[in-house]
Chain A
Amino acid sequence: MRFLLLIYADEGAEATMSEAEMGAILQKHMDFATEAAAAGMALSGERLQPTSTATTLRARGGKVEVHDGPFTETKEALGGYYIIDVAGLDEAIAWARKLPQYGSIEIRPIWEMGA
């Protein structure tokens, strides 16, 4: 079954990271992709631009308004995601553990059509 891994982190902390720290994190993401490929697991995912670049559409009273900023302002913001395809939650947790751990990773099963 497919899971979405939502990677949340403190953008402020990320901004003050040294190049070496950031490099180590990026390396871990690359290792993750390499390991997934070696295991034959279908993997997709992207890193996102910071929430300062976000635009939100909000439906209100039958009208849709366009706003600057993310859906909610929180300390930890969505910074990227992966979609993985594994047997179940335990395997999804095991893959998520391989990612760099410095914020939170939310694991959500994909709502498969017709399932």
Chain B
Amino acid sequence: MPASSDEARALELVLEQEHGAILAHLVRSTDGDFASAEDALQEACAQALTTWGVEGLPAKPAAWLQLVAKRRLSDLTRQHRRAERSRQADVELDALAARQGAVIEADIVDDTLPLLFACCHPALAENARVALILNALCGMTAARIARAFLSSEATIAQRLLRAKNKIKASGIAIAVPAAIDAEQAHGTRLLAVLRALYLLFNEGYATSSGKEHIATQVCEHAILWTTRVVDAFEEAAEAKGLLALMRFQHARRDARIAGDGSVVLLRDQDRTAWRHDEIEEAARILDSAARMFQAGSYQIQAAIAYAHASAASFGETDWATITRLYDRLLSFEDSPVIRLNRCAAVFASGDAKRASALLDELEADGRLGAYSYYWATRGEICLSSGRLEEARRAFVHAGSLTENEAERRFLLGRAVAAGAP
């Protein structure tokens, strides 16, 4: 089949690895005009298929694509500005044209961090920020993002279009905000970036079953971009904390999913299948964050993940430490989900009475009524105290609230266990 020629495969590989780097500079040079930047890149790809077939693969294919796409953009600008065309612009374009086709020595212009900050601007909807990172920086199509997010392609495409239009029309700068402006504002924007990367990772982590391949890719993209942020902001302890957190969780990927695609609970995971070298690396990152003495919620969550990752078995988990870490986490960020996790940790530490009291608080709070894990935890606590019927109903309800097929099967299994006399 001629379409799967060498140059087509080479192009696919370059785009898979460097789509974000190629596109970011194009978006930046058009002040956020995604539509023109994407069109130009598409045209450059079409040209690559013919040119590369004749002249062979260029030394730096990504830089080649970026330069050719940039020339397309300049052509467009020239057409638009024909009336007020400046001689200077023509001279520059001619120089650019002369370089094209020849061996390109220039490296790719990497504007990915500026684009990352623009995609995570607080003026954009939170779910749009995550989709934008995947689309603009990771090169995932709306269809693939929809599959990873268990959403429809039309919904994701609409969300992306709206966010891209807003970036252009509302004057969101494709830039890393200047620290001089105010340390406060700088920190806020950085936290917004970390938050989006955290949500991105969780999307991948939570949808692991069935769609494993895409989900693992989403997690790896999140880790990659967080690593870039850590490298660029060495003074940000929370960025390191977030990276450590992701790497602890990701190190367990092989043990989390059974051969049939079902979720394996932490309790039942084969700990020899964890990537212990990655756990050690994550611990080093967390340690270097802790030495900066700027505690924050990502570092505490990473410390919780570390406590789990360093336990030889589920039974030997240091639940007392984990419970204390959750107490600490609540002082940074109070949410019913964190309270639920603390409740589960207290239960695992063997203090069923306190766990039951914490669960009652959560029930009174009422905000977790549609949250599957709340009902699953409730089921376990009821089961341990012999309230079988209540446990069975909680598991069935938990199963009806999850969209994850493997988890649903697990919960219904727990319901059967509770229902058996």
Contact = CB atoms under 8 A, between A and B. Distances in A.
B93 interface: no
Contacts of A3: 171
Interface residues of B, number: 10
Contacts, number: 25
A6 to B, nearest CB: 14
Contacts of A90: 172-173, 177, 181
Nearest to A88: B171
Contacts of B172: 88-90
A101 to B, nearest CB: 15
A89 B121 contact: yes
A100 interface: no
Interface of B: prevailing SS:
loop
Contacts of B123: 89, 93
A7 to B, nearest CB: 18
A79 interface: no
A48 interface: no
A93 B173 CA distance: 12
Contacts of A88: 171-173
Interface residues of A, number: 11
Q: Is the interface of A mostly helix, strand, loop or mixed?
A: mixed
Contacts of B181: 90, 94
A1 interface: yes
A109 B270 CA distance: 55
A109 B173 contact: no
B173 A94 contact: no
Interface of A: 1, 3, 87-90, 92-94, 107, 109
Interface of B: 121, 123, 169-173, 177, 181, 185
20 contacts: A1-B171, A3-B171, A87-B171, A87-B173, A88-B171, A88-B173, A89-B121, A89-B170, A89-B171, A89-B172, A90-B172, A90-B173, A90-B177, A90-B181, A92-B171, A93-B123, A94-B185, A107-B170, A109-B169, A109-B170
